Amino acid sequence: MQKKGKMITDISVMIAGMAGDGVLFTGNVLAKIMKRQGWEISTYRDFPSNIRGEPTNYTIRASLEKIYGRADDIDVFIAFDCDSIFKHSERMAERGILLCDGEDFVWPSPSKSKARTYHKFPLRKLAIGNFGKEIFKNMIALGALCYILDLNFYVLERIISEAFLKRKGKEVVRKNIQAIHLGCDQAKEIVAPEGRYSLKRREDYDRLFLSGDEAIAFGALAAGCRFFAAYPICPASEIWQWLAVYLPQFNGLVVQTEDELAALNMVLGASYTGARAMTSTSGPGGSLMMEGFGLAGMAEIPIVIVNVQRAGPSTGMPTKTEQSDLNQWVYGSHGDFPRIVLSPGTVEECFEFIIRAFNLAEKYQCPVILLTEQDYGQGLRSAKKFDLSKVEIERGKLLNQEELIKIKDFKRYEFTPEGVSPRALPGMKNGLHMVESNEHDERGYRDENPENRIRMMQKRMKKLKSASKDLIAPKIWGKRDAEIGIIGFGSTFGPIQEAIVQLEKKGIRAKYLQMRTLWPFPSKKVEEFIAKSKKTFIVENNFSGQLSLLLKSQVRTPFDARNILNYSSQAFRPSEISTQIQRAL
Amino acid sequence: MRKNKDYHLTEPTWCKGCGIYSIFAALKKAAVALNQDPEQFVIVTGIGCHGRLNNYFRSYGFHALHGRALPVASGVKLSNPSLSVLGISGDGDAYSIGLGHFIHSLRRNINITYLVVDNRIYALTQGQTSPTSEPGFVSVSTPYGSKELSLNGPKLALASGGSFIARGFSGNPTQLSTLIEKGMKHRGFALIEVLSPCVTHNKVNTYQWFKKNTYNLDNDSDYNARDKMKAWKKLSKEKKIPLGLIYVEKRQTYEDVVFQKEAEPIVFNDLRVDVPRLEKIMEKFK
């Protein structure tokens, strides 16, 4: 029996290199092994919008507790190139282990890195020398990591077999396993058994392992989405690619359109005809969708748009994370029309909210936006199994043929107390009507009469009020009587929660209001939260404080709030939040 | 048998003498000939004078955004292929702001009929030059004459894989209704460009002008609309504009390719949550 390393309950492993080095593959396999050994996982992908030749890194965090974001420090760092060391070694934990390939490696000065242990690890040389191909360096790295993290080699071997046996055959599997053992043996010479890390194991854990994009795609399928049209865009294409496999198996359809204009307009046509329809995009695609967004509002067509935010403006940084499309969807498109904007904070909420999105869209006959981010959109997370028995499909005032035939004088846009009108589908008897992008009367025919205009505007906008009781309310985390209040939306969920723990250790008590619906704005709940906080901090991944500005326009009572902003294109680390709060007090 | 009045909702209010009147009449005539159920008929229009047609024609109607008639019509048809779907655009709608959709719809070959009402001018916005206006065309937007070549829609359609390409003329409503009827019967995307004078804003391309500058392929017994090269040659001659059925081919529709045979239309799917089946799929996230 080998000596055990130091037992820990939370660890971060960074794998870095140049695009094309196999960083993502290595990271994903490592994450899978750790997940199968019963740990909660949160991965963070920081990669260039380029196929080859630019730096990329992937962080896998494993913990016994549920985690939702990246940690402050890196415990184990394996680098396929030298440059990565200079970029990230500052973040090494006190006794972290750092392995680096590179014969021309220049050691960073100690001031640049806290890690005491630096090790040359000639991954490329070992791969070519022993197996004739550089690609084996990924396996050698995995073998080394397996040893350093005291992981079960059997689990790794099984994952490798699963990945390669069918596609590439026994010989490839055998060679790869050899490479793993080589990596392990080499690592043994560098790191003593007691210098390793060892995580407690959990045997009875049954977790899913997926990205927010995948959770949305799966949720959409469960919610009855059967029509999907989109244009390729980072970081949203994973939603489409998942649905492209599964929708046809459910008699549904995925269409690759010529642009985002076509995508949204096809979705509008499909939803008008009665299909549950959706598109997914990111900011730049959203800009092209603005005209169709307004049509959905005007013609009262239920549609779901998923916007996985990336760093803008313009082409921006296609594969990096940001929260700067809030304004786009809360205020976007010309004219006034009702829309609902939801913001999940976790992969679990991605699944839950997309189902709510489809129901809200049909109940209030308006566009619903699911605003997510590259961070957990593409990052893989362990998640509790989704409870499918709770999935409900609510189609609102959609009439069936029997109900429609009984109606004497069907009016698609009938004025009703709640603003929502009965809906008939083309092909139905007794339901003939018009869908107008122009202002229209109760039957849908063009009408520019000012009195009709006023009533129609009021009818459509009234739906927001009708929906307000049915929305996903903000959630308060932490002790309700804490004097510091933190407000955030989306992926700041994890870092804020951890920042609260860090603050508590310093004797500062904080609570957190997670905004889960951004529009219509839940003013009352936010006002209550602010009133019960001595000082409020608003945490966002953007430059101008978009949530903060929205909040200030929607909250009537004056309050003292400070913005904590990060527009570096990177997700927050917990200490960025906790130290800024500490400093401000 | 259905009658003309089954499709007549209200009296149109286009300018007196506008070519769209004959398109409206031809469309009704074709619907009668096909015994088209108005409740199974969806007409999607774009922005322009043609877009008013939904207000006069009795069927399900969708007045879409400028240039977006085709994506909406495609979404309708793909969700419920049992419906008859017809799109209408003007020359600005189809050949300018919606040109991307035009090409890709031809490529896809979804089973819809598409009328492009070509009056060679932006009429609803009061007479600007359009992509089909000829070089030198003087209008409020090009007071010194248009500096661009004009766009040949049917030729572009042929190059884009169109499976049914025809051109009609408002001055010949009999031929036009026959073309619409044929187009609606055609399995696949049927383009029918209709030369249609704007009597208010276009004083160049009048009924007389079109009569003088067109000839009818339907009268040419030597012409074979299944011959792509011949169609290309006819469309490439610059002097006179051919009318009639220009090109037709049998090609698999998009629906043939993406749906399983005898599959129910998407809108008739049972959406109830199939828990065991989804549980199995969820297991793959491990």
CA distance B240 to A583: 80
The pLDDT of residue A96: 87
Q: Residue A244 class from Cβ within 10 Å (0-12 exposed, 13-18 middle, 19+ buried)?
A: middle
Q: Does A107 touch chain B (CB under 8 A)?
A: no
CATH fold for domain A210-390: Rossmann fold (3.40.50)
Backbone angles phi, psi at A459, to 5 degrees: -60, -50
Quick: pLDDT tens for B224-235: 999 999 999 999
Instruction: Return the CATH number at B153.
Output: 3.40.50.970
Host domain of residue B118: 4-282
**Packed helices A574-584 and A493-505: angle between N→C axes, nearest 10 degrees:** 50
- CB interface of B with A, residues 55-114, below 8 Å: 55, 58-65, 67-68, 70-80, 82-83, 100-101, 103-104
Alpha helices in B116-172 (DSSP H): 153-159
Q: Using alpha carbons only, give the angle B171, B173, B179 rounded to the nearest 5 degrees.
A: 120
List of residues 6+ apart from A415 with CB closer than 8 A: A421, A442, A455, A459
Q: Is B55 within 8 Å of A269 when comparing Cβ atoms?
A: no
A560 pLDDT higher than 60: yes
Tell me the average pLDDT across A316-344. 98
> Six-digit token pair at A285?
């695609």
| Nearest alpha-carbon partner for A422 in A431, A158, B28 | A431
CB-count burial class (<10 Å; 0-12, 13-18, 19+) for A392: exposed
Average pLDDT of every residue of chain B? 97
* Cα–Cα distance measured from residue A520 to residue A490, given in angstroms and rounded to the nearest whole number: 16
Q: What is the overall mean pLDDT for chain A?
A: 94
Any B CB within 8 A of A28 CB: no
Residue A158 pLDDT > 80: yes
Q: Does A470 touch chain B (CB under 8 A)?
A: no
Q: How many CB atoms lie within 10 A of CB B209?
A: 15
Which pLDDT band, with edges at 50, 70 and 90, does A113 fall under? low
Interface predicted TM-score (ipTM): 0.98
- How far apart are the C-alpha atoms of A325 and B24, rounded to whole Å? 44
Of A37-46, A77-86, A480-489, B111-120, least confident by mean pLDDT is A77-86
Q: Is B120 on the interface with A (CB under 8 A)?
A: no
| Whole-number Å distance between alpha carbons of A73 and A86 | 15
Partners of B89 in the β-ladder: B116
The hierarchical CATH code for the domain A475-584 is 3.40.50.920
Grouping H, G, I as helix, E, B as strand and the rest as coil, residue B69 is helix
* Predicted confidence (pLDDT) per residue in B52-72, tens digit: 999 999 999 999 999 999 999
Residue A204 pLDDT = 73
Domain count, chain B: 1
Task: Name every residue whose Cβ is closer than 8 Å to that of residue B220 and which is 6 or more positions away in sequence.
Answer: none
Q: B60 contacts in A (CB within 8 Å)?
A: 426-427, 431-434
Compare A476 and A108 and report the one with higher pLDDT. A476
Closest-approach residue (CA) in chain A for B83: A427
pLDDT tens-digit readout, A370-413: 999 999 999 999 999 999 999 999 999 999 999 999 999 999 99
Q: Hey, do A210-390 and A475-584 end up sharing a CATH topology, with the first three levels equal?
A: yes
Reported as a pLDDT band with limits 50, 70 and 90, residue A504 is: very high
- Which of A85-94, A260-269, B188-197 is the least confident region? A85-94
173-192 in chain B: CB under 8 A from chain A: none
CA B132, CA A48: separation in Å to the nearest integer?
44
Which residue in the block uniquely carries the two structure tokens 């990336």? A310
Q: Judge whether residue A111 has pLDDT over 60.
A: no
Using the beta-carbon criterion (under 8 Å), do B65 and A385 form an inter-chain contact?
A: no
Instruction: Quote the CA–CA distance of A19 and A122 in Å, as a whole number.
Output: 18
Give B75's contacts in chain A (Cβ within 8 Å).
227, 229, 265-273, 277
Query: B157-183: per-residue pLDDT in tens?
Result: 999 999 999 999 999 999 999 999 999
Tell me the mean pLDDT in the region A25-41. Answer: 93
Tokens of A438: 């122009």
Mean pLDDT for the stretch of residues A18-29? 92
Overall fold of domain A6-205: Pyruvate-ferredoxin Oxidoreductase; domain 3 (3.40.920)
Place A1 in a pLDDT band, splitting at 50, 70 and 90.
Answer: very low
Instruction: Give the separation between CA A54 and CA A160, rounded to whole angstroms.
Output: 27
* pLDDT > 60? residue A108: no
Instruction: Return d(Cα A272, Cα A432) in angstroms, integer.
Output: 13
**pLDDT digit string (tens) for A518-541?**
999 999 999 999 999 999 999 999
* β-pairing verdict for A484-489 and A535-540: parallel
Interface membership of B126 toward A (CB under 8 Å): no
pLDDT bin (cut points 50, 70, 90) of residue A116 is low
Domain assignments of chain A as residue spans, ordered by start: 6-205, 210-390, 401-468, 475-584
Percent of chain B at pLDDT > 90 equals 98
Give the single-character DSSP code of A430. T
Dihedral angle of Cα A555, A558, A562, A567, to the nearest 10 degrees: 30
Rounded to an integer, the average pLDDT of A439-459 is: 98
Q: For A247-253, what is the mean pLDDT?
A: 97
* pLDDT tens track for B64-118: 999 999 999 999 999 999 999 999 999 999 999 999 999 999 999 999 999 999 9
- Chain B CB contacts of A208 under 8 Å are 282, 285-286
* Banded pLDDT at A354 (limits 50, 70, 90): very high
Instruction: Please report the pLDDT score of residue A110 as a whole number.
Output: 47
pLDDT at A279: 98
Confidence of residue A199 (pLDDT cuts 50, 70, 90): confident
Mean pLDDT of B117-134: 96
